[in-house]
């Protein structure tokens, strides 16, 4: 089954957008900028309510692009609406964007800021995380708030970037108090300290990273990283084509969500991810 609401996917020359999507398998591979991209989003197998994750790919000329994944917070009202607001706000911000000496930082930050203001104005306490990147002249820069993540993996499996979740557990991993295995089972793993729609929201901006040919970028909601270890993800990326990577991530994540196995994580949740691989 491949279904989505009537407004969930728009494919134009400048954008690919999914909101409230229900995909049984990853979408087709698209050629954008200097690489290829595959998108996927589906609600948790343990719920009947709408998918609260949204994502967008924004084409910024012949070689450049921006990508964002937003995860509406399920413990708060209007999560699906909050994530949709972020992606649509970024789509508007990038519609007429031009490269500056700072790449596409201005439209990225403006789009997120305006989305946060709009979410706050709903007046219901809604919120969403976001993980986003811009790629300008094959240089990547990340932006995030919350626990959706960006992972950049080289052709041989080396991790070139792994963003730190804005949460007590995320900071504990970074400081060495917890390892990733302990963190996956920690009682407070999903307590976050920063998100879009929070009055004191902040956007963490990463350092620029030059992408080499065949580097792979994964931008995903926590539904993926809560069910597959990062070292498993890097092995899948290292060994396979982009289409095979996307299918193996979907298959393994769905299996883990549906069936608990000793020693492996299992947390049913909505999942959205975008895979980008530089091909030229």
Mean pLDDT for 151-179 is 79
Q: Quick check: 37 and 246 in contact, CB under 8 A?
A: no
Residue 141: CB atoms within 10 Å? 22
Over residues 251-257, mean pLDDT: 96
Q: What's the pLDDT tens digit per position in 71-104? A: 999 878 899 999 999 999 999 999 988 878 888 9
C-alpha 103 chain-centroid distance:
20
Mean pLDDT of the chain: 89
Nearest Cα to 173, choosing from 157, 162, 158?
Answer: 162
Provide, for the chain, the percentages of residues in helix, strand and coil under a 3-state DSSP scheme, each rounded to the nearest 5. Answer: 30, 30, 40
pLDDT for 20-36, tens place per residue? 999 989 988 999 988 99
Does the pLDDT of residue 55 top 50, yes or no?
Answer: yes
Q: What is the pLDDT of residue 3?
A: 44
The answer to whether the beta carbons of residues 56 and 87 sit under 8 Å apart is yes
pLDDT recorded at residue 4: 47
pLDDT at 128 over 90: yes
Q: Give the helix/strand (H/E) hosting 105.
A: helix 105-121
- How much is the pLDDT for 179? 63
pLDDT average, residue stretch 188-217: 91
């Amino acid at each position: 089954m491949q279904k989505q609401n009537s407004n969930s996917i728009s494919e134009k020359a400048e954008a690919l957008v999914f909101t409230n999507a229900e995909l049984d398998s990853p979408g087709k591979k698209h050629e954008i900028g200097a690489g290829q991209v595959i998108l996927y989003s589906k609600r948790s197998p343990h719920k009947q309510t709408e998918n609260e994750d949204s994502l967008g790919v924004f084409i910024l000329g012949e070689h450049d692009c921006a990508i964002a994944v937003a995860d509406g917070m399920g413990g708060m009202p209007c999560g699906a609406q909050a994530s949709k607001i972020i992606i649509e706000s970024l789509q508007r911000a990038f519609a007429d964007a031009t490269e500056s000496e700072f790449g596409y930082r201005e439209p990225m930050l403006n789009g997120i800021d305006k989305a946060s203001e709009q979410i706050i104005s709903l007046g219901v306490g809604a919120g969403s995380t976001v993980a986003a990147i811009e790629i300008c002249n094959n240089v990547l820069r990340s932006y995030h708030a919350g626990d959706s993540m960006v992972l950049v993996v080289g052709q041989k499996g080396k991790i070139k970037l792994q963003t730190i979740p804005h949460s007590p557990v995320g900071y504990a991993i970074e400081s060495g108090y917890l390892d990733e295995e302990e963190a996956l089972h920690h009682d407070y793993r999903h307590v976050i300290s920063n998100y879009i729609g929070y009055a004191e929201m902040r956007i963490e901006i990463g350092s620029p990273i030059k992408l080499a040919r065949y580097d792979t970028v994964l931008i995903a909601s926590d539904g993926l990283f809560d069910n597959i270890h990062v070292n498993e993800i890097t092995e899948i990326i290292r060994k396979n084509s982009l289409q095979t990577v996307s299918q193996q991530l979907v298959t393994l994540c769905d299996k883990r969500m549906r069936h608990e196995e000793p020693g492996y994580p299992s947390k049913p949740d909505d999942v959205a991810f975008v895979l980008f691989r530089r091909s030229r």
